[in-house]
Structure 1
Amino acid sequence: MPVDRPPPLAPDHPVTILLASFDGAAFIGAQLDSIARQTYRTWRLIVSDDGSADATRDIVAGFAASRPPGQVRLIDGPGRGATLNFLHLLSVAPEGAVAFCDQDDVWFPDKLARAMAALSPFHGPAHYAARTVIADAALHPVAESRHFPRPLGFRNAVVQAIMAGNTSVFNAKAAAILRRCAGDAQTAGIPSHDWWAYQIMGGAGAELIHDRQPVLLYRQHGQSEMGRNDTIAAMSHRIGRLLAGEYGGWLAANHAALSAVRTELLPENRRILDGLGKALHQRGPVAAATMARLGLYRQTRPGTAALFAAALMGRLRQCGPSSPSR
């Protein structure tokens, strides 16, 4: 569901911010300062550092010393990249709401407040994400990120990542589901923690909220883990990767992670997952027909057309038998 203006704030509930860091000394101080300026005060922060060789850990330690005792923790990450670091953070996070956080962004002061207000009406699991303001390395605004016109849900989530991890906040029930599923995601070698989280939430029937209001400056620089995806060049690059076959491997890894936790998914979404598993092992025309019957879609017509073109050309096909349903 889209959000223009969230409802009035409910009483504060603790939210744990999960920040994966690695050699982020050039930028992490600005991000930490923006967290300190949040109007939503009931937060705690866990920074999982993947073995930084610069001053990142010292900067985080200094920030922790400036905050109330216990509000900020610095722990060691697994040292195997950002995705596994975020999954590690989920595994150590306490019960309650969680928010993903990138080391090089800058949050607007009401970022957490908007998210927690938007999540507050829901008693079941709910996942909030929002637009961003794309900025250069010096934080000069360049453009707002895209607004996605089509509905959010599992049929979109299994083939496209649109719930930006650097804006994502999950209420307590949603976070509990993610914690239960994180170990299997690590084993499967998923390509992206935020794509996987959207899939888990969509599959479990969580409320999916996308805020049209930007909530942070999304800094672009030479070491960005993920770049902007709103330009013609960026979209062409992604379509090229889809057609080149790399995307099929991502779908297979995500499928394995989801299959391992299929009991968390709604029955209808288990059927979609099983159909996708078959499609990934079928020849081109049959695979495309299977995906069409499942109603899978990306957020734009060209993106959906590229998806089915890749299936038709056999670019998504995985060798070997499909994973059995459980």
Structure 2
Amino acid sequence: MVAPLSQVSRRSNLDYRNRNDIPQSGSEHVGRVAILLCTYNGERFLAQQLESIAGQTHPHWVVVVSDDGSTDSTLEILREYAEHWGDGKLSVRRGPGRGYAANFLDITCDESIEADFYAWADQDDIWQENKLESALQRLRQSPAQVPALYCSRTQLIDEHGARIGLSPLFQRPIGFTNALVQNVGGGNTMVFNHAARQLFKRAGADLDIVSHDWWAYLLVSGVGGWIFYDVSPTILYRQHDTNLIGSNTGVRVQLKRVRMLFRGRFRGWNQKNIAALESIRCQLNEESRKSLDFFKQARASRGFARLIWLRRSGVYRQSLMGNLGLVLATMFDGI
């Protein structure tokens, strides 16, 4: 079966139903984008990332950098680009110093940053020139008051820029019951609208989460927002020895995940996500709350009852092997 050009999840929250004010793609609205770039000792590849941002076909952007205490030449590179670009196109602020996920949440919730759309950026990737244009084309299909999130596949490159493959192609539906047990979008591909940004702010910047991108998928899908998954890669995702998070492809990665399953790592991740979701439970729609409660019941049960509650929750992963692993994790108290 041939995959569509993009997948979109449009499960509506009660607050978002029966809306007819859906703007058409190609709206004349300019769409100012705040690119939220988090850095930490990124001197090796930062200039290439900034150059790729400068080459975007959608020109209405500003870059806000949150640096988490770099001790190399990162800040010097940023100052040079700020002077070269001028006109307030790049500004730098101090990060919270609590790791990459906290840094992204902190800058996303910064009240001083205002735009129509927001894009997360890593310091070592290269954006394809149409990344922002492709994202905004899809995000404009959603009503402005509905949280909407765009993400895409990635073209993998090595530290020298050579292309080494693609990220997985996900073909099952995108939504909350998938998000509970799997993240399908890399934060370095994610762009979201102002309604989604307001949702992040309501949830808060001080949550203890696994990763900012998985949290974005959980949060936006959980309230009934729109999720756009683009099967066409929009960035060159660099794989190198200092990556905090690399690609999720390959046999070695799959074996590593099996080991994490039996060591309780997956269960710990789920516990963090559930605690964060419970803190904003009132924002979730009824269907998401029901799935969350059934999933919690599966984790709390024993024996065959675990599988019964897991089935009732409706959770699933994108691949056959992933779902077999999910069943195994459930049987061995790994969720």
Whether TM exceeds 0.5 here: the answer is yes
Amino acid corresponding to residue 207 of structure 1 in structure 2: W
TM-score w.r.t. the length of structure 1 is: 0.92
Is 2:272 the partner of 1:288? no
Q: Matched residues in 2 for 1:288 and 1:94: separation?
A: 45
Q: Matched residues in 2 for 1:134 and 1:239: separation?
A: 23
Assess, with a 3 A threshold, how the Cα gap between structure 1 residues 312 and 5 changes in structure 2: closer, same or farther.
closer
Tell whether the 8 Å contact from 1:2 to 1:209 is kept in structure 2 after alignment.
Answer: no
Amino acid corresponding to residue 239 of structure 1 in structure 2: V
Aligned residue runs from structure 1 range 254-265, under 5 A? 254-265=273-284
Aligned residue runs from structure 1 range 178-257, under 5 A? 178-183=200-205, 186-187=206-207, 189-257=208-276
Correspondence for 2:179 among 148, 157, 161: 157
Q: Matched residues in 2 for 1:240 and 1:303: separation?
A: 14
Correspondence for 1:144 among 160, 166, 169: 166
Is 2:108 the partner of 1:90? yes
Report the Cα offset of residue 21 of structure 1. Answer: 0.6
Query: Hey, what does 1:55 align to over in structure 2?
Result: 73
Q: Matched residues in 2 for 1:47 and 1:182: separation?
A: 19
Unaligned runs of 5+ in 1: 317-326
Query: Hey, what does 1:272 align to over in structure 2?
Result: 291
Report the Cα offset of residue 276 of structure 1. Answer: 2.0
Query: Hey, what does 1:105 align to over in structure 2?
Result: 125
Report the Cα offset of residue 119 of structure 1. Answer: 0.9
Amino acid corresponding to residue 81 of structure 1 in structure 2: G
SS at match of 1:191: coil
Assess, with a 3 A threshold, how the Cα gap between structure 1 residues 156 and 68 changes in structure 2: closer, same or farther.
same
Amino acid corresponding to residue 24 of structure 1 in structure 2: G
Query: Hey, what does 1:321 align to over in structure 2?
Result: none
Query: Hey, what does 1:324 align to over in structure 2?
Result: none
Q: Matched residues in 2 for 1:266 and 1:206: separation?
A: 10
Is 2:130 the partner of 1:130? no
Amino acid corresponding to residue 234 of structure 1 in structure 2: V
- The percentage of counterpart residues that share the same residue type is 36
- With 91-100 and 248-257 compared, the bigger mean Cα shift is at 91-100
Tell whether the 8 Å contact from 1:2 to 1:210 is kept in structure 2 after alignment.
Answer: no
Correspondence for 2:83 among 65, 70, 73: 65
Report the Cα offset of residue 145 of structure 1. Answer: 1.2
Is 2:5 the partner of 1:3? yes
Assess, with a 3 A threshold, how the Cα gap between structure 1 residues 55 and 149 changes in structure 2: closer, same or farther.
same
SS at match of 1:13: coil
Q: Matched residues in 2 for 1:2 and 1:192: separation?
A: 28
SS at match of 1:99: strand
SS at match of 1:113: helix
Tell whether the 8 Å contact from 2:151 to 2:230 is kept in structure 1 after alignment.
Answer: yes
Deviations 1:283-324 (A, max 9, x none): 2432232111111100001111111211111123xxxxxxxx
Greater relative CO, 1 or 2 (CA 8 Å, sep 6+): 2
Tell whether the 8 Å contact from 1:23 to 1:54 is kept in structure 2 after alignment.
Answer: yes
Unaligned runs of 5+ in 2: 9-23
Q: Matched residues in 1 for 2:249 and 2:140: separation?
A: 30
Tell whether the 8 Å contact from 2:7 to 2:174 is kept in structure 1 after alignment.
Answer: no
Assess, with a 3 A threshold, how the Cα gap between structure 1 residues 39 and 313 changes in structure 2: closer, same or farther.
same
Query: Hey, what does 2:21 align to over in structure 1?
Result: none
Query: Hey, what does 2:15 align to over in structure 1?
Result: none
Q: Matched residues in 1 for 2:274 and 2:170: separation?
A: 24
